[in-house]
Amino acid sequence: MEYISNASEVVYALQGNLAAQIQWLKSCQILKYRSSADGVITRYPHQGWVTPYFSNFAAMALLEEPAAFPLVRRYLNWYLRNENNGTILDYHYDQRDQPTTSRPDSEDAYAGTFLSLTALYHQRTGHTGWVRENLSGLKKIAQAIVNLMDRDGLTYALASHRVKYLMDNCEAYRGLEDFSNLLDCLGDEEAPYYRAKARAISAGIERMLWNPRIQLYHPSKTGWFRPGVNIRKFYPDASCQIFPVLCGLHKPESERGAHLYKIFNKYHPDWVKISPPDYPWMILGYYACLHGDYRAAYEKVRYVREVYIDSQSSYWFCAEAAFFVLTCSCLLQKRDLWLRSGGTT
């Protein structure tokens, strides 16, 4: 099969978009040696608001550029300096880099995504020495997830907020699974312990949140109560359905994975053109890539570039930019599968 006529232009545009958003993410990072803020990634450039959950994704995207590896290490160091018994608060830094803190949205998902970031950092850089030097802190973060687990295997969002969310549990599972694999690389004897905890969360998700009758996941569980699922409601009912595949509980090509993607597209076919005042949900472009729906992912990139990035929308922030970068990267890696005439659509 031959490449489509404008394939080289598409590749050039994707490379430019990816590079531009990596630069934008770099502008969100505070880099001041000997400052307590050094390494932190803020939600927007030149502002002091920090949601570590979002910053974790931003750092993952920065790992797409080898020259940014030291920047990611500085962010990892910031997080570890500020964790407390494995959990971390949201931050705001004023113009003098003095911080104030507030309660995080969750503890399980913050910890899970940070552990996944750490594992990815090690995979990309091979910096085993940094991991060994910080292993005690990393284990505290992993143990924070374990401490949030209930008898059904699911994690509470916060120790003070006793709700178990599908999205958070998927990310907590992924973080512990990635961390156990990282410990395997180090020959650490505690790897099986964290892997068993990850598998307990996975089993809890399938046992307590999957509804075989309606073939959908419940978005949350509080005590014995599970709210009904209205798949026509984008958040959280429909959007949460993407996380079991995103976090590797099910493969995209599996029967469950394919079913969930089909259902999501059936009830939310216009996800490519989500517009302000809503956030763009760029994570859906990455999700489409995982399912081999590269043309839809590319259209998402094009639309978001025009409506959010070029217009400098206030609804564009570091986590959206992160998934924009990851989607562009995936599209470039898989270019032979969708830029050939007759290729995957």
Per-chain mean pLDDT for the chain: 96
Residue 98 has what DSSP assignment?
-
- pLDDT for residue 5: 67
Asked if 35 and 77 touch (Cβ cutoff 8 Å), the reply is: no
Tokens 């990309």 belong to residue? 124
| Angle in degrees, 0-180, between the axes of helices 166-186 and 191-204, rounded to the nearest 10 | 160
pLDDT tens by residue, 178-231: 999 999 999 999 999 999 999 999 999 999 999 999 999 999 999 999 999 999
Give the pLDDT band of residue 344 (cuts 50, 70, 90): very low
pLDDT tens by residue, 224-266: 999 999 999 999 999 999 999 999 999 999 999 999 999 999 9
In angstroms, the CA 243 to CA 264 distance is 12
Q: Tell me the pTM.
A: 0.97
Rg (CA), the chain: 20
In angstroms, the CA 184 to CA 176 distance is 12
Q: Residue 341 pLDDT more than 60?
A: no
Which residues on neighbouring strands pair with residue 340, listed in sequence order? 3
Please list, in sequence order, all residues whose beta carbon lies within 8 angstroms of the beta carbon of residue 304, skipping any fewer than 6 positions away: 280, 282, 285, 320, 324
* Token pair in block for residue 133: 């030097």
* Token pair in block for residue 8: 């080289």
pLDDT tens by residue, 52-89: 999 999 999 999 999 999 999 999 999 999 999 999 99
Give the residue with greater pLDDT, 333 vs 2.
Answer: 333
Q: Residue 1 pLDDT more than 80?
A: no
* Token pair in block for residue 30: 């505070």
pLDDT tens by residue, 6-15: 899 999 999 9
- pLDDT for residue 4: 64
